[in-house]
Structure 1
Amino acid sequence: MNRPLALVEPRAGRTDGHYSRTLLALARAHGDALVVVPQLTPLALAAELGTAGATVATRPRGARAALLTTAAHWTAFCASALGTVCSPKRRPARVRRIPYQLRLLASALGEAADVRTARRLRPGTAVVVLTAAPGLHALVGLLGGPHLRFVHEITTTEDPSLRLLGRLAGRGRRKVLVLAPTQATRDRFVTRFPRLAVQVRPYGLADPEDRIGEEERAKARAARGLSERDTAIALVGGWWPEKDLLTVHRALAQLACPITLLVTGYPLDHQRLDGWAKLPNVRVVLEPSPASDTAVRELYAAADAVLVSRRRGVGKESGLVVDAVRFALPLLCSDHQPELSRALRGKPWVRLYPTGDSVRLAEALDALADQPLPRPGGDAAALLGIPTAADQVAFLTNRRPGEPR
């Protein structure tokens, strides 16, 4: 019997990323979780959560949670209103940063309201914020109460005014346990917030039943006009700054063997996609975004390998690497992060290439035509330390803020 669990996902209304999938997987594994999500969460996701046995809350419960939610909405409104006023480059950096600081404050207030809502609906339960803001952690603990929080990356810093607010909320530190998906993220976090408890814990999940079967693979390839001899590469996810698409662009122009590029995500550079489609050895198959989890799975099912290309030094967890393990697909990956490279090196289903080296990437893509990589075995997730949903639920319900690091 699982202990009580409340899952808070501030980004459940977004179509990019792995937010809804991880939320659903944890809800299914627990069977009776409380899930706190924004009011704009898609009805289909709320229905799936209900089918998984979860109780879904989209509104604040209690006067303090309602007050915090209102404050978060007004702060976010002010951030948006000031965005165009403060953004011109001629303005000092401290002025240009004001909207970002307000958005960070709005996120913290909203998270505190959600944590309070979860604790009011189910007192004594373990509360977990699955995609937490990158700052003001103590403030969320002080205003919301004890909880665990996944911090995936540090995307902005706290200016003096927010650092002062964090110091005033210092008592809230004892109510927070931060979970960093990678050691690199943890190292960055403890440099910024040395007085907060933080532990490395993967966020991505891989369950044995997620593995793509041969029959499913054959159907997906046939639907996209792929024969057994064709080579198809999955390029999934939005083209954010940490992605190294320039190296991919240069590699595709050097190919000696034809490939089909299976693309989905948001945002994408459609002008560049059109350019790729005109290259002699590239065929582009685009799955329009936002794509459902089923559509993304079908795209992966048609692929011979997953391509991960990142800029050097990017240390946050790669959802695409987790997807390769989860769906049992070979992986082509840049060696952008030493910790990840050490974990992947020597695996027969992985080909690492030097970050930014388009020649080596082109060679790796060409080699797939003559020497396809084997699919990862059933033990790949365990070897890389990727938990199952049941493992994650057990971990989250047995950890409490204030415990030793």
Structure 2
Amino acid sequence: MTFSRRDQATGDIAALRAFAPTLILLVIALLINYVDRGNLALAAPLLKIEWGMSASQLGILLSAFFWTYTALQFVMGLFVDRWGANRMMALGFLAWSMATVLTGAAMGFITLLAMRLVLGVGESVMFPASSKILAQHLPEHARGFANGLMNAAMRWGSAIGTFGGGLLMARYGWRSTFVAIGLASLLWLPAWSRWKAPATPVAKHADAGMGTFSAILRQRNFWGAASGHFCANYLVYFLMSWLPYYLVHERHLSMSAMSVAAGALWVVDSLTSIATGTLTDFCIRCGATPTFARKCAMALGFSLAAVSLVGCAFASERTYLACLIACAIGSGAANAGTFAFAQTLAGPHAAGRWVGLQNGIANMAGVLGPALTGVLVDWTGHFAVAFAVAAVFTLGGAFAWCLGVDKLQVTDFGSSK
């Protein structure tokens, strides 16, 4: 038995090393994904000056990405499952990179709007395709680290885009920046052609069926995971949308101090995500069930974030930063497993469809969260109630993941449990 386990461990290490180039390319793609989706916000002040755009026009342009991105989440997983994750990943990456390049050549509002819509189409491939690849080629005890790293890449992409993109636009203008970023991104495609996921899966899974949309929607575990993911996204979009405003207007930080504070919080979030994924994998390798390991991480992460948000609502000038740091730790821990759950529950054959549906529902938090926060801040004149509402959603995420999702195993799509 000892030899068998040691032999299996050796095989797992060799398999993970073989998959490492693919994982690195997926992390880079997700980083670029978040750079490209956020760069128009950096150009907004320049567009307002150059073209005299109104705030309403800028708002339409900034939201247009989510129109196609969110809508296509519900069907893109089907294309990934039918036509292959590698192929769809390459096509999606090409589409969003060319949309970025052509944004730099836009001559007016309509052209920019069209490019933002195309960008949403291309980027909608990212999570269904990457989750299917991880489900196909990684064993359960390696997915925590991989998903934690992917979650961290989202934060890194936002940070790099904000600082790097802002500097480039200030020096070379927004048009040159879009063209340069888009063209440089295309170098990823030949690398993907060379180091994409192998045709033969590393890990074998016993799936109980492909899982049609209707079969997935009948699963209690799907709605538990989708609800938990929605709550996780509410927290993330709340922080991404309003943290800078909160630090400047309520805590009276300068713009430079705000940038440092917000950047540090995202670093803490990303590192916690990687550490949490690694720790849960370690626990599973040591004999813990995936259900116990992943749910414990979710419960602790969401609970810490919820308590910290309440703390922020009542914190003094001396304690609010500590509360935000604790919230970042909780957020990183909570978001490390959102796609790991889906990859296990769906199995490799249905992962694209499951993740597409789950992510589509979860992204509706991006529509609700920022808008609701703005209404609450206008109504009360401060952030206390907004933090309390975010805490309620966050605590709801803990209950959704831990109670809404049953045993963490490949779903029998013939059952409606």
Bigger proportion of residues as helix = 2
Bigger proportion of residues as strand = 1
Tell me which of the two structures has the higher relative contact order, counting C-alpha pairs closer than 8 angstroms and 6 or more residues apart. Answer: 2
- Verify same fold: TM over 0.5: no
Compute the TM-score of the two structures, normalised by the length of structure 2: 0.30
Compute the TM-score of the two structures, normalised by the length of structure 1: 0.31
